Structure 1
Amino acid sequence: MATWITICDTCKRADWPGPAEGAPEPPGARLAALVEAAAEGTPVRTRRTSCLMGCDHGCNVAVQAGGKLCYTLGRFEPTEEAAEAIVAWAALHAESASGQVPYKLWPQPVKGHFVTRHPPLPEES
């Protein structure tokens, strides 16, 4: 089963000037584009959503796969370095049977960005 990165493309940060005419797109949309580009050619899949309801942690992503631990990460700057680290960590999640990735393997730019961890849903019988 594929590991997915779901990126909030409406995430805003305190320094974003708002949706004024000529203002840049929201930081979440910029991060989404960077994550999508970084994921090209990897086994990780991406999708966008309008809101992950993590506004206090602006620039949020969720990393999920069936039968595995799922994670929400936030407080990212929309940079190539952050996007590449998110994808690298998600690739490690994909390789893990449980979704748990040993801390020593985490790319430095994701450390300190984990917001939540959710257990996998129970299998239906």
Structure 2
Amino acid sequence: MRDQATPSNPTELLVCVKCRRGREIPEEGRRPGQALFDALDALALPDGVRVTPVDCLQNCDHGCTVALRGGARWTYVFANVDEVADPDMILDGAALYHATADGLIPWRTRPEHFKRNCVARIPPMES
């Protein structure tokens, strides 16, 4: 049986909080990745979606990076996210992802940014 989008199989939105977006930022300065996490955390999250900060997604040369995963769905990693302009788009994409059983958002309904900035698509551990 395929994974269903249910509260027992939430969608996790991972946000790299260490991202500097190629800028020189003092060690005590607020990084763009942290600003992105803070912006997402301040918004109303779609049902079934939780946002989780992570220390590094190892995509440092490509701006802020987020990932979507959950249950037996495919995991997606997206780059070049802007901490100011993109939080609503990310949450729209997370809601679309959560509504799928397999994590595969139909191409024509994906946010344009997701179409052009997918770094990786990782198969589920379970099928």
Q: Give the structure-1-normalised TM-score.
A: 0.85
Match of 1:18 among 25, 34, 47: 25
Match of 1:52 in 2: 57
Q: Which runs of 4+ in 1 moved over 2 A?
A: 107-111
| Residue-by-residue CA offset, 1:36-60 (whole Å, 9 max, x unaligned) | 223x242211010111111122200
1:20 offset after TM fit, Å? Answer: 5.8
Which residues of 2 match residues 21-36 of structure 1 at below 5 A?
A: 23=29, 25-36=30-41
Match of 1:105 in 2: 109
Match of 1:114 in 2: 118
- Looking at structure 2, the residues matched to 17 and 50 of structure 1 have their Cα atoms a distance apart, in angstroms, of 18
Higher strand share: 2
1:26 offset after TM fit, Å? Answer: 0.7
Contact 1:85 1:108 (8 Å CA) reproduced: no
Contact 2:15 2:37 (8 Å CA) reproduced: yes
Q: Give the structure-2-normalised TM-score.
A: 0.84
Identical pairs, percent: 31
Match of 1:86 in 2: 90
> How many residue pairs end up in the alignment?
118
Runs of 5+ unmatched residues, structure 1:
none
